[in-house]
A and B are shown apart, each in its own frame.
Chain A
């Protein structure tokens, strides 16, 4: 780790480790490397390891001896600082039909033409920081500033599964039907989260996400392929 080790001992079973409070790819990579080693050391003693943008949380099954845990963490952190992470990372391409009901709203707010904003949304390679909010909801970094659009004051009672949306400085995909206040610009035919898949989610934190515009015909094709269990979400190694 490239900074002084910071932690908060929240309760007898919860310990949170902190990185500087900003949204950085380097922080994510350090956190993931720490997480892997922590899981390796404590295994079943850990109920959960969860991440935010700059916080890695460790929930233990029973109360911890803080000094002992911190000593081990210090040693992991020292090693971590001297070795570069060697994750196998992937870039996934998610097909999107850009016909969302709020396209016009987003165009109006940003002053962009619809095809311009669709191009801007596809341009970046978004970094998947972590999942939260609901099962399978990706926290993605890298939205173009020109696409920052406030959330709706009145959330929609139902946003359909697969909807691709923009809310504030973020973009994301609703993995299941849900109420929501984001502006829907498109929809993916791909079922990204499915408890019957192993694993239920393919993209993992640290991976990148690209959006790719598809036609209505492509959309239907992918739906049919998925029904025949014949569709693989495309990816390349990065």
Chain B
């Protein structure tokens, strides 16, 4: 198939967008965060539907879609949080492979539920790769945030799909589930067993303090644990701050921390939490046998 360079032009950038792949591994010992798609499940679905490699870079959009013009033919798919999808005025469902002609305009509405949208493209975005990953991160990659007027390169291919594609069943659990599966954190054993039970019985709401680094929960959870000697932390680590706030580290999280690590989210729970927004409720459920 003939390939040439294509470009996507950002007409409206939405709220917060970035290029993400599976992340940057092997550099945490230099203090470099993994980054990578927040909702890995929806991200992987986009690449799967396009028959891309699992690590092909997608565009991750938070809360508000935006407008994008494709200057060359390609094939795309939108996954993750449900949104209205229009290409030159024609409406498409989510998780549906869409052929794009040169010059066509893609319009994505704000999310109807959930939080993060993935725009996958045939062969992945051909943006700058640094230390084995295309994931944007300040101080590592040139670009850190999607801006109006940016041009993102991709491999242009003539449309190749004519047969309508079966609609993929939405994984509603990502958007509907309040329950986050967790393991005991490194300092969980130092917690009073009753307090730990309260943690598992509690309901928590996502605060406004959240970004790709971490999500702080609204409720205060009384803390009797002291700070720890700085130790490794991971995406999905739940830290308990001295002020009694629960801080769930996400993909852009720093690689070490000094607050007690009381829970560790499963990868599935990180994807699920990535689709929650301010005011949404979560609970923790312990995976005790594994």
Contacts and interface: CB of A to CB of B under 8 A. Distances in A.
Interface string B232-255: 101000000000000000000011
B131 interface: yes
Contacts of B25: 47-48
A48 B28 contact: yes
A134 B140 contact: no
A55 B231 contact: yes
Q: How many B residues touch the partner, as a band?
A: 20 to 34
B43 interface: no
B30 A133 contact: no
B186 interface: yes
Nearest to A14: B234
Contacts of B186: 8, 10, 16, 55
A48 B139 contact: no
B29 A135 contact: no
A81 interface: no
Interface string B110-128: 0000000000000000000
A57 B256 CA distance: 10
Contact of B230 (A11, A132, A135): A132
A148 to B, nearest CB: 16
A220 B231 CA distance: 38
B130 interface: yes
Contacts of A11: 183, 264, 266, 290
A136 B31 contact: yes
Could you tell me the dominant secondary structure of chain B's interface residues? Answer: loop
Interface string A195-238: 10001110001000000000000000000000000000000000
A33 to B, nearest CB: 15
B228 to A, nearest CB: 8
A2 interface: no
Interface in B1-57: 25-26, 28-34
Given A10-B185, A16-B232, A135 B264 contact: no
Contacts of B140: 135, 195
A132 B254 contact: yes
Nearest to A136: B31
Interface string A67-90: 000000000000000000000000
B26 A48 contact: yes
Contacts of B290: 11-12
A52 B229 contact: yes
B31 A59 contact: no
Contact of B229 (A12, A53, A137): A53
Interface residues of A, number: 37
A49 interface: yes
B272 to A, nearest CB: 16
Contacts of B264: 10-11, 14
A11 B264 CA distance: 7
Nearest to B182: A11
Contacts of B256: 50, 52, 130, 132-133, 139
B29 A130 contact: yes
A131 B230 contact: no
Nearest to A12: B290
Interface of B: 25-26, 28-34, 130-131, 138-140, 183-186, 229-232, 234, 254-257, 264, 266, 290
Closest 10 interchain pairs by CB? A132-B256, A52-B231, A131-B31, A57-B232, A50-B232, A53-B229, A55-B231, A176-B139, A48-B28, A50-B28
Given A16-B186, A132-B257, A195-B130, 7 more contacts: A10-B185, A23-B229, A48-B34, A50-B29, A50-B256, A51-B29, A132-B230
